[in-house]
Amino acid sequence: MQRITIPGGEELLIRSLLDRQQYYDPTGAAERLGICSASWPLFGLVWPSSIYMAQKLLQRPVTPVERILEIGCGLALPTLAGRRQGATITASDRHPFTRRFLEHNAGLNDITTIKYRHGQWGEAGEVCINDAGAEPLSARYDLILGSDLLYDRDAPAQLADFIDDHAKAQAEIWIIDPDRGHRPAFTRQMATYGFELVEQERIEEVTMNDGGMAYKGRLLRYMR
C-alpha cells in the first residue's frame, strides 16, 4: 500500500505492485493482448505523470454533463481523484489486471461508481472479453486524459487514431509527455484529425512521496 498525496488536493491510499520485477500471466491473457513480461508490471506502479495529471484535473471545475476518459490509466490516480470530486469519468487500459486494482483502490478510498472499459490502440487484433476483463471502449468523450503514453516511434500515429475514435466532434485532449522525444510527431498526427496544440505547460518537477523520482516533462493540451 502507498499513501499518495495529490499536491493541493486529495490523498489516496493505493494498492500497487512492489517493483518492475512482478509478473503473473498464468492463462496467457496478457500475452494475447500484446503485453510482454517486461511491460506487464508497468500498469501497477505509481508514476509521476499520473500524480501531476490528477493534480491538474482537480484544478478543473466539475461539470456533471462533461464526459471524461482516462486512457492507458494504469492505477488511475486521475480517475480516482476526479471521481471523488464528482466528475463523470471513465478509466480505460489494456492490461487484464487493471480493473481489479482500480476497483480495490476505489474501495480503499470509499469511492463509488467507478466505470472501466478496455481501451487498446495499435495492432491489438481481436480482443476477447475474458482476456480484457471489461467491455471494449465504444463511447465518445469531451475530455480525454493520458499520462506518459508516447513510448516509441509507432505511438504518435496509433495514439492519435485511437483518440480520434473516442473524442467528440468538439473535444479537449490532455497528454503528459516526460520528454521521450515523440512529441513533435504526435502533434503532427493530431493535426490530421483536426486537433490544434493550444498549450504546452512545462512540468519542472514532480516528487514522489518518498522524495525520489524527480521528473520533468510537458502537459500538452489540444482542442478540436
Dihedral sign of CA atoms 122, 79, 180, 211 in order:
negative
- Tell me which of 48-52, 164-168, 215-219 is least confident: 215-219
- The residue segments making up the domain with residue 160 are 2-223
pLDDT digits (tens, 9 = 90+) for 185-198: 999 999 999 999 99
The predicted pLDDT at position 42 comes to: 95
| CATH number of the domain within which 162 lies | 3.40.50.150
- Residue that wins the pLDDT comparison between 72 and 1: 72
Each residue's pLDDT tens digit, 118-175:
999 987 656 787 888 899 999 999 999 999 999 889 999 999 999 999 999 999 999 9
CA gap 188, 183 in Å, rounded:
9
Q: How far apart are CA 85 and CA 187, in angstroms?
A: 31
Is the separation of the CB atoms in 92 and 137 below 8 Å? yes
How many domains does the structure of the chain reveal?
A: 1
Q: How confident is the model at residue 214 (pLDDT cuts 50, 70, 90)?
A: low
The C-alpha cell at 199 is 498549450
